[in-house]
Amino acid sequence: MHKLICSNIRTNIRIILFLLAVLFSSCSMNENLVKYVDPNIGTVHSRWFFYTPAALPFGMAKPAPSTNAHYGNKWGWEAVGYDDRHESIEGFANVHEFQLGGIVLMPTNGKLITTPGKLENPDLGYRSRFQKESEIAQPGYYKVDLSDYGIKAELTSTKRVAIHQYTYPANKKANLLFDIGNQQGESGKIVNAEVKRIDEYTVEGWVETAPEYVKKYQKGSTVSIYFVAKLNKAMKEFGTFRDDSIFRNQDEISGKGSGLYFSFTPIKTESIEVQVALSYTSVQNAYENLKAESMSFSEAKKQANRIWNTELNKILVKGDSETDKTKFYTGLYHALLGRGLANDVNGAYPKNDGTIGQLPLKEGETPQFNFYNTDAVWGAFWNLTQLWTLAWPEYYNDFVQTHLQVYKDTGWFSDGLANSRYVSGVGTNYVGLIIASAYNCGIRNYDTELAFEAAFKNELGWKDRPLGAGKMDMKSFIENDFIPHQEEWGDIPEASAFSASHMLEYSFSAHAVAQFAKQMNKEKEYNQLMKLSSKWENIFDSMIGFIRPKTEDGKFILNFDPLEPWRGFQEGNSWQYSFYVPHEPEKLVEKIGKEKFNQRLDSIFLASQKNGFGGGKEIDAFAGVKTIYNHGNQPSLYIPWLYNFSGEPEKIQYWTRTICNEFYGSDPIHGYGYGQDEDQGQLGAWYVMASIGLFDVAGLTGENPSMQIGSPAFDEIKIKLNPDYYSGKDIQIKVNNNSREKLLVKSVKLNGEKLEKPEVSFQDLVNGARLEFEKKDTNELY
C-alpha cells in the first residue's frame, strides 16, 4: 500500500511538472504575427529598397525579385525595382539599400541568354513571366514560379547571407546566371565589376558603382559591394559573359556588363542552393560572414520566421479588424526592414574615404555596436525614432553610434549614408536632433560628450562644411535674421533654393539640441541654441498668417501663392509648412489666434479628405506636393496632432483614425496612399504610432519628453520594454467600448488616475504605464 501511494505521488508529480512545462512553453511562445504581414501592399510604384520580403530586420542581405531594376533611375530616387503591375521578373538581386544595389542571380533553362530584356518583350531576354498566384511573400521568405522556365525560385536570408533555392525541371538544359556588372535600382552607373569561378562550388566578385546621390554630395566617390557565393552543385559546364557576348569555359571576367554562368542537365527535378555572402569592405570579409552565418535553406527559413515573429511580438495588438492588423504589422515590418547592416561580423566597416574601418570589439571578438546604412532622417522623428525609442532602443543606440563613428572619421554628420559616403537626401541634416532625442529619452550607451560636441557643431558649424553634411546655407541662418530667398536654383537646389523651409527646420533642430545642452548642464550653448530656435518668427507674415520667404533686402517675396510648391519650400508649399514649428506650437497658435488656427486645420482636413489626404489616386511620389495637406510626404505628418495645442484634442482622434482608415490601404495600388514614397518605414511607422494612440509633435526632443494622446485602433495593445534601457516591463493599453467605427475618446486613465491633459510623460510610459481608454458612441464633430 505504501509503495502504491508513493508511486501515485511520483506519477502525479511527473504529470504536474509536464503540465507546468507545457504551460510555461505556451506562455513563452510568440504569437504568429508574420501571417498579418503582406509585403505586396503598396508595391505599385515603390522605391528600390521597399520590396525585400526575404530579408531579416535591419539586415544587410536583402534578396528580392526585380521586374525593372536594370532600367535604373535618372535622379536616384524614382520608383524602380519591383512593381506589382509588371508581369515578368528579370532576376533576384541580393542588395536593396538606399543608393546601393546589385549582385543578381537568375535561373533559366534552354538557350543561354545573358541580357535581361525589356518588360514589353520578355522573350528577348533572360527574364521570365510569372503568375501572381504562385507568389508567396512573407517576412523572411519569398517564393515564385517562373512560368517561362518551369522553375521554382525561393529566397531567404541570414543577416549577411542571402540564400537562394532554385528547383529546375527534369531533362532541360539548366542555367544559373550571376549578373554582376549591370546597374540595379538606385545603384547608379557601373564603374567596374569582377566575377570569378574560384572552384567547382565557389564564385566571388565585386561591383563598384557611382550612385546619383554620392555623385551629388561627395563628388568623385563611389561605393563597392563584395560577395562570395557557395553552391551545393559542382559547376562543370561554365563560362563568362559581357552583355550578350558569351565566353565559354572562361572562369573570370571584369568590367561593365560582366557576368558568369554555369549549366547542367538534370535527369530529374533538382534543387540547387546558393548561399551569397555579402560585404561592403572586401571579398575576404564576405568569406568571414559566410563562415559565421552559413546554414541550409530550410534552417535559414525557419530562423528568419522565428526572428521576425520575435521582433513583431514586441508590440502585440488585439481587436476584431483583420484589415487593421494587416496594415499595422505590415507598417511595423517596413519600419524594421529598412536602414540595413553595413559592418561585417568581425567589425570591419566601410569608411567615408573608401578605406576599411574597424569597430571596437567586445571580449568575444564581436562588434560593440552595429554600423548601418540609411536614407536621410528627414521627418523620421515623426515616426521611426519614436517607434525605436519605445520598442527598439538598442537599435536606436546603434544608429546613434553609427553617426558618431562617421563624425569621428570625417568631423561631420551626414543625414544619409551609403557605405559611409555622404548621401544627404534632401540637403538638410537632422542627425543632431535625433541624437538629442535619444539622449533626452535615456538612450545613452555611447560617448555623450562626443555626441553633444558633434550635435552642437551640426547646428552652428558652417566653416569648411562639406556639401554632404547638408545645411549649406547655415552661415546666413547663424549670422542673419533669415536666409535670403533665391529665385534661381543652382546646380544643387537643396543647397540654396529652400530658404523658408530651412529656416523652420534649423530652428526646430536648434531647439532640440538646446534641450540636450540643458540636460548636459551646458548653459552657454543652451542659450546660443535657444536664440536660434526662435528665428522662424522672422519669416512669419502676421498679415496673412503664413510662413513666407524673404528676399535679401528683408522684404517678403512678391506674387506669393501659399499653394505654390518648391518656391522656398522643400517638397511642399507654405500651406504645408506654415505649421512647421513643432518645438513651439503654443506660440504659433498664439500668433495665428486659436479660433483661426482651428478653423484653418478644419478646412485643411475637410478638404484633404476628398483628395485622399494627398494627391488623390494619382500614382506618383510627388502627387500631393501642390495640396494643402500631403500625408504622403514628411512635412505634413505632425499636423493633425496640433489640435492638442489648440484645445480640440477630439479632432486629433477623429482625423488620425480617419487618415489611417482612408489614406492607408491594403492592396498593391492603394497601400501608402497611391504610389507614395514610403521612405524606408516612415509612413508605416506613422501608422503604427497613430494606431497605438501615442505621438509627439516635437519628436521626443523636449527636456522632459512627453507624448500626445490620440485614439488607439485596437482593444488591447502591449509594448514590450527593453530592460537594459527602461525600468518597466511593458506598456499596456486597454480600450473600452472600442470598434473600428468609434474614433473619439471619452476619457483616459493613467495607472488608474484620470488624465486631465491629453498627454503622458515619456518617463511614465517606460516605467510601465497602464493606459485605459473609454471610447465615445458618437463621432459627431462637424
For the residues 513-532, what does the mean pLDDT come to? Answer: 98
Tell me if 149 is assigned to some domain: yes
Cell of 622: 510627388
Q: Kindly state whether residues 15 and 128 are assigned to the same domain.
A: no
> What is the per-residue pLDDT across 284-304, written as a single tens digit (0 to 9) for each?
999 999 999 999 999 999 999
Report pLDDT for 3.
44
Report pLDDT for 340.
96
CATH number of the domain within which 141 lies: 2.70.98.10
For the residues 191-196, what does the mean pLDDT come to? Answer: 98
Tell me if 352 is assigned to some domain: no
Q: Which of 310, 329, 363 is the last residue of a domain?
A: 310
Tell me if 54 is assigned to some domain: yes
Amino acid at residue number 97? E
For the residues 728-748, what does the mean pLDDT come to? Answer: 97
Q: Kindly state whether residues 14 and 113 are assigned to the same domain.
A: no
Q: Kindly state whether residues 135 and 258 are assigned to the same domain.
A: yes
Residue 435 DSSP label: H
Give DSSP secondary structure letters for 563-625.
T-SSSSSTTS-HHHHTT--TT-HHHHHHHH-HHHHHHHHHHHHHHHHTTTTTTTT--STTTTT
Q: Kindly state whether residues 161 and 26 are assigned to the same domain.
A: no
> What is the per-residue pLDDT across 377-427, written as a single tens digit (0 to 9) for each?
999 999 999 999 999 999 999 999 999 999 999 999 999 999 999 998 888
- Nearest CA to 438 out of 497, 385, 475 is that of 385
Q: What is the 3-state secondary structure (H, E, C) of 195-251?
A: EEEEECCEEEEEEEEECHHHHHHCCCCCEEEEEEEEECCCCCEEEEEECCEEEECCC
Residue identified by cell 488607439 is: 712
Structural domain of 18: 1-30
Residues present in the chain in total = 782
> How many Å apart are CA 441 and CA 216, to the nearest integer?
35
Q: Kindly state whether residues 52 and 105 are assigned to the same domain.
A: yes
For the residues 730-743, what does the mean pLDDT come to? Answer: 97
The percent of residues above 90 in pLDDT, for the chain, comes to: 92
Tell me if 359 is assigned to some domain: no
Check if the beta carbon of residue 429 is closer than 8 Å to that of residue 471. yes
DSSP strands (E only) in 445-589: 540-541, 546-547
Tell me if 710 is assigned to some domain: yes
Check if the beta carbon of residue 46 is closer than 8 Å to that of residue 65. no
- Which of the residue ranges 134-138, 338-342, 433-437 would you say has the lowest mean pLDDT? 338-342
Q: Kindly state whether residues 334 and 395 are assigned to the same domain.
A: yes
Q: Higher confidence at residue 494 or residue 694?
A: 694
Start-to-end C-alpha separation, the chain? 81
Amino acid at residue number 436? A
> How many Å apart are CA 404 and CA 82, to the nearest integer?
34
- Nearest CA to 763 out of 721, 712, 735 is that of 721
Tell me if 255 is assigned to some domain: yes
> How many Å apart are CA 681 and CA 399, to the nearest integer?
15
Q: What is the mean pLDDT of the chain?
A: 95
Question: Do the strands 670-671 and 673-674 form a parallel or antiparallel pair, or are they unpaired?
Answer: antiparallel
Phi, psi of 8 (to 5 degrees): -65, -40
Give DSSP secondary structure letters for 272-286.
EEEEEEEESS-HHHH
List Cβ neighbours of 758 (8 Å cut-off, separation of 6 or more): 644, 649, 652, 708, 709, 748
> How many Å apart are CA 780 and CA 746, to the nearest integer?
13
> What is the per-residue pLDDT across 496-512, written as a single tens digit (0 to 9) for each?
899 999 999 999 999 99
DSSP strands (E only) in 257-413: 258-264, 270-279, 315-318, 348-350, 356-358
pTM: 0.95
Q: Kindly state whether residues 673 and 636 are assigned to the same domain.
A: yes
Q: Kindly state whether residues 225 and 288 are assigned to the same domain.
A: yes
pLDDT at 24 over 80: no
- When pLDDT is cut at 50, 70 and 90, the band that residue 1 belongs to is very low
Report pLDDT for 140.
98
- To 10 degrees, what angle do helices 384-391 and 431-440 make? 30
The number of beta carbons lying within 10 Å of the beta carbon of residue 558 is 6
Burial of 33 per CB tally in 10 Å (0-12, 13-18, 19+): buried
Tell me if 109 is assigned to some domain: yes
Q: Kindly state whether residues 12 and 101 are assigned to the same domain.
A: no
Q: Kindly state whether residues 269 and 330 are assigned to the same domain.
A: no
pLDDT at 19 over 50: no
Q: Kindly state whether residues 158 and 289 are assigned to the same domain.
A: yes
Report pLDDT for 114.
98
Cell of 658: 480617419
- The partner residues of 153 in beta bridges, in order of sequence, read 144, 166
> How many Å apart are CA 497 and CA 690, to the nearest integer?
33
Question: H or E stretch including 774?
Answer: strand 770-775
Q: Kindly state whether residues 332 and 304 are assigned to the same domain.
A: no
pLDDT at 25 over 50: no
Report pLDDT for 4.
42
> What is the per-residue pLDDT across 657-679, written as a single tens digit (0 to 9) for each?
999 999 999 999 999 999 888 99
Phi, psi of 56 (to 5 degrees): -95, 165
Residue identified by cell 505556451 is: 26
b/e map 478-509, b = 16+ CB within 10 Å = beeebbebbeeeeeeebbbbbbbbbbbbbbbb
Tell me if 362 is assigned to some domain: no
Check if the beta carbon of residue 764 is closer than 8 Å to that of residue 750. yes
For the residues 21-35, what does the mean pLDDT come to? Answer: 66
> What is the per-residue pLDDT across 264-289, written as a single tens digit (0 to 9) for each?
999 999 999 999 999 999 999 999 99
- When pLDDT is cut at 50, 70 and 90, the band that residue 492 belongs to is confident
> What is the per-residue pLDDT across 564-617, written as a single tens digit (0 to 9) for each?
999 999 999 999 999 999 999 999 999 999 999 999 999 999 999 999 999 899
How many structural domains does the chain have?
3
pLDDT at 554 over 90: yes
Phi, psi of 687 (to 5 degrees): -60, -40
Report pLDDT for 494.
87
